[in-house]
A and B are shown apart, each in its own frame.
Chain A
Amino acid sequence: MEEKYSSNVLSGGKLGMVEVPDSRLTRYIALLILSKILKALGIFESYDILKVVHIVQFIFILKLGSAVILLVFQKPFSSGKGISKRQWIKLVKHAILSCVISLLGFFGLTLCGPLRTLLLFEHSDMVVLALLAVLFTNSGGGPSKTRGAAFFIIAVICLLLFDNDHLMAKMGDHHPEGHHDSALTHFLYTTISLLGVADHKGGVVLLVVSLCLKVGFHTASRKLSVEIGGAKRLYALDNLVSAVVLLPWVVVLSATTESKVDSWSSLIFPFGMIIFSVMILEFYVEAVCTAKMEAPRCARYGAFALFLSALMLANFWTHPLTDQLRSMSKPPQQVSTEHVLSGGVIVSSVFFIMASSILSSPSNKGQKGTLVGYSPEGTPLYNFMGDALQHTSQSLPRFIKDSLKQILEEYDSRQIFYFLCLNLAFTFVELFYGVWTNSLGLISDGFHMLFDCSALVLGLFAALMTRWKATRIFSYGYGRVEILSGFINGLFLMVIAFFVFVESVTRLLDPPNINTDMLTPVSVGGLLVNLVGICAFSHAHSHGGKSCPSHDHGHSHHGHSHGEHSHGGHGHSHGGHGHSHGSGSRGMNANMRGVYLHVLADTLGSVGVIISTILIRQFGWLIADPICSLFIATLIFLSVIPLLKDACEVLLLRTPPEHEKDLNSALEKIEKIEGVLSYRDPHFWRHSASVVAGTIHLQVMSDVVEQRIIQQVTAILKDAGVNNLSVQVEKEAYFQHMSGLSAGFQDVLAMTRQMALMKYPNDGTLIM
């Protein structure tokens, strides 16, 4: 309970991140973890004991036992300076407060069970202080701390609301009558019942309050511990005094109520263990560890170990196997009512672990400067400059805001995003309604919708990623993502069409009985949503078409038209990028086409379902369903093929078909430029919607100006639509020159080989 007092004032934690090699700390960490596990064990044991022993007696015994041990070890009276009368008064106050807090804590333990108590009550001071700082002050320490606080609160709420502990509730009914044997417990029970919550939920609230009290108490007692002369001495004296304070109450209690305990002797061992693990060992280990490591790290490891071991113990404590093990040390009249592990507890413990690790991580704000290194003398150097600019971590809300802004900036991604929202809303309505009415069909349809949304998410992500700047690694930029995404979406649709096809074939052979009652409203809803999507996307497309009407003629000599499909127009936009390079394409790019086709396929699916439902209902044609799906599968398949073909061509680095003629005439023009002998390796390919890259080697006469030729060639090819060009100009004298330079045999060899290659510019092996 009473952990460290002033030890973290003296520890290295406040002096910056002095990284000590882990190997030296391993024993301390191991020790810490061991002590925490023992503590969890002790708390579990004490929960069992508290069922038979009165709480005040229990605390008295604990305090007394630890006081005796600590008196032996610490010798608070014989060592150190004397204690004045005022200090004694303070000490008594301190002891009374600590008694109240342990009383509250252990009372919470009886209400909530050991696992929940450990989760709630055993947070280190630092975590709670950080939490309170976030909650009640403005400068909480940055977004990460806010996140941690949010986790903490979520965890508490989880414990309060989602922890359906039936045993607990049952026990709560019996408990008050059974245990109302003291004024104190009676008082506490009435207070909790005044709150109007269930018993163990009252316990949770009680524990949270007492946790805050404990932290406040620890902080307040720091001064006292300095006055007294060290935390350990204070702890020893405090235990002694509180035992003395509790003594009269215990005497009165044991006089008035009959004890339920048969033999105190059987309890000696458990008590000894609890005193050792909960009161003594934990205190010492914590003190040592905070001195050796930084306090935050210590707190993090400790919390982690404690919570995990609590979870493990809670799982195995009531296991029949451990029951046998414990039967020798435990009173036999153990009631088999235990607090079970529920989902809420597990979730909240995960959240607690995350919260405590986030909250106990050191914040740079507190130090007002970052360690930049060490001076030659060994003193640490801090940088105070960047404090205003530096982010401790990316804030989640800000990240969301930024990406939303990015999404809404561009037309494509905005469309996808709105439709995604609509789709998700529909899905969730469907899912909730399905869960509400417990209809499996609706739920599975909802999951199917969610799966469909993945295509939209992919499209959205691609539309965002396309706008990323080129990096050193991706030197052409990320424009290809949209083509890849279109390709993936197309493939995806192919697979779906294939499966639908197979399914419908099997159904054709053996038509199943379909329950048509539920289908219609759902599929009509889905149809409406998808129709909205189609309108939005095809609007986007026609808008793009209008914005560049000059491309119509480009389309006419455009080798493969997609006119046979309902989305026939999309070919236009491809016709135009070349002429309007840099402006990007506002029309239907591969990504949008993929998304559009997906939505179209969904719509077709809904239409098919509706039609087949009507047919089945009106005429009883069970065969209508598989035929419809066959038809739809074929339709999807056919409509995807052009998209796949285009994407494949781009990915295979084909010369852009819509520029092919221009390029050929451009190459002819290049050959006619004065001074150009020939060209070789002309490669032109579309990288993304807006980038057409090209490379070419030129052989020129030795007496021309290279720059002029490069400029001419670049201009000609730019007219033909290539906007990322590199021209390599080679002069004939180049090779003689090379051999003249004594550049080494190998270079000359390579050069002659290149020259040999140049004689056969159409040789296919060049490419390989």
Chain B
Amino acid sequence: MLPLSIKDDEYKPAKFNLLLKLSGWFRSILADKTSRNLFFFLCLNLSFAFVELTYGIWSNSLGLISDSFHMFFDCTALLAGLAASVISRWRSNDSFSYGYVRAEVLAGFVNGLFLIFTAFFIFSEGVERALEPPDVHHERLLPVSVAGLLVNLVGIFVFQHGGHGHSHGDGGHGHSHSPFNGSLNHGHGGHSHDGHGGHGHSHDKHGGHGHSHGGHEESHCHNELQRSEGSSKQILQGVLLHIIADTLGSVGVIISALLMQKYELMIADPICSMLIAVLIGVSVVPLLKESISILMQRTPPSLDNALPECYQRVQQLQGVYNLQEPHFWTLCTDVYIGTLKLLVAPDADSRWILSQTHNIFTQAGVRQLYVQIEMAAM
């Protein structure tokens, strides 16, 4: 930023400032592929909801109005994802010394929770209806739900595609879907094994990126790589789940509407909705579990196996007596931070121990490590 004169500042009207801010946000949204996709889909969804709402008010149909409100509620998930993907790219400042990267985890968590709520409501509604099937007006149901399905299908396509394009953007790891991924990875050096083993849990479409951790000679370029892609996984997962849930809902409505029209099976509607609710609930559980474990500062599951080995190696260093209070946790996707205290002999070479410890844990994939060295009393 160039220094501006004080007078300039005074003359700047407030409105303009807001506009500037808005355009800045807009630019930052469009800068990243994930947030761009999210934004476009949000616009699509919102316009659909508005069309539905206006049509509902115009034709005075309560069902359409409430459905459009439901759509708005759905949009909140997208909005949360979008906000998170923008926020997570904010610079760190004094207050948020780690930056805002955790926003993505939080967004995933919130999305998951919303989905669980939705599933619960649908389920209870379904039970209520199963006990006492209401008269459903299925004439108008079909076109609306088909349109919703189409919108959601677009969404699924976009995000699936986004996921692919995204993994292409990983630079050298474009082959992330190829079966020889592992062998490629081993070429990085003797230590890549750890990193590879550690990422066994990662999801298919992002399978590639974890490998870059393996060789620490690349550790610098992580920063850029990670930034562009770390912001995506949890958000994308949450949003995708949400859209899939919506799609399932539309499909269920369509099927039950067809069943009701053809065979007069009134029970089809509640059964469909209950099934969908269960499906949503089950599919959300992994996301929730993962984000809760990150938010609770759990030791990263991918490091579960690697860490004891690392402790062993550190304790075998010359002069190290003991290793205390190891804390390892996940900052955001695949960024692990650790702190530990080493009790060393009074005459030990603390600098050497420090660097060796850093080496050992960097190989395991820990990005930031804080080692407090304490000399044992004589």
A interface residues with partner B (beta carbon < 8 Å): 447, 451, 472-476, 478, 480-481, 484, 488, 491-492, 495, 498, 502, 505-506, 509-510, 648, 651-655, 657, 660, 664, 681-685, 687, 693, 695-697, 706-707, 710, 724-731, 733-734, 737-738, 741, 743, 746-747, 749-751, 753, 764-765, 767-768
Contact = CB atoms under 8 A, between A and B. Distances in A.
B69 A734 contact: no
Interface string B146-165: 00000000000000000000
Given A475-B328, A726-B340, A768-B99, 4 more contacts: A475-B327, A681-B370, A684-B97, A768-B226
B375 interface: yes
Nearest to B356: A743
10 contacts: A474-B297, A506-B69, A681-B368, A683-B98, A693-B339, A710-B373, A728-B371, A729-B372, A747-B355, A747-B359
A475 B297 contact: yes
Contacts of A495: 114, 117
Contacts of A654: 95-96
A473 B219 contact: no
Contact of A492 (B96, B117, B372): B117
A765 B368 CA distance: 12
Interface in B192-245: 216-217, 219-220, 222-224, 226-227, 230
B306 interface: no
Interface stretch (B14-22, B101-109, B135-143, B315-323): B101-109
A648 B337 CA distance: 20
The 7 A-B residue pairs whose C-beta atoms are closest, nearest first, are A726-B339, A695-B370, A726-B372, A475-B327, A765-B223, A502-B69, A734-B351
Given A655-B95, A728-B372, A767-B98, A733 B69 contact: no
B313 interface: no
A706 B219 contact: no
Contact of A491 (B101, B113, B223, B329): B113
B95 A696 contact: no
B296 interface: yes
Nearest to A707: B375
A564 B331 CA distance: 34
Contacts of B373: 706, 710, 728-729
B32 interface: no
B362 A750 contact: yes
B350 interface: yes
B62 interface: yes
B370 A726 contact: yes
Interface string B180-195: 0000000001000000
Contact of B106 (A652, A687, A693): A652
Interface size class of B (residues with CB under 8 A): 35 or more
B27 interface: no
A727 B99 contact: no
A651 B295 contact: yes
A697 to B, nearest CB: 7
Contacts of A743: 355-356, 359
B295 A484 contact: yes
A493 to B, nearest CB: 11
Contacts of B66: 502, 506
Contacts of B372: 710, 725-729
B65 interface: yes
Interface string B333-347: 001010111000000
Nearest to B105: A651
Given A683-B98, A727-B372, A728-B372, A750 B296 contact: no
A492 B350 CA distance: 51
A662 to B, nearest CB: 13
Residue in A475, A509, A730, A764 whose Cβ sees the most chain B Cβ within 10 Å? A475
Contact of A476 (B96, B297, B352): B297
B251 interface: no
Nearest to B127: A447
A247 to B, nearest CB: 58
A753 B355 contact: no
Contact of B219 (A451, A738, A753): A753
Given A475-B328, A495-B114, A652-B106, A660 B95 contact: yes
Nearest to A476: B297
A451 B325 CA distance: 41
Contact of B216 (A509, A653, A685, A746): A746
Interface string B287-326: 0000010011111000010000000000000000000011
A484 B296 CA distance: 8
Contact of A707 (B96, B296, B374): B374
Nearest to B295: A651
Given A696-B370, A706-B350, A472 B299 contact: yes
B110 interface: yes
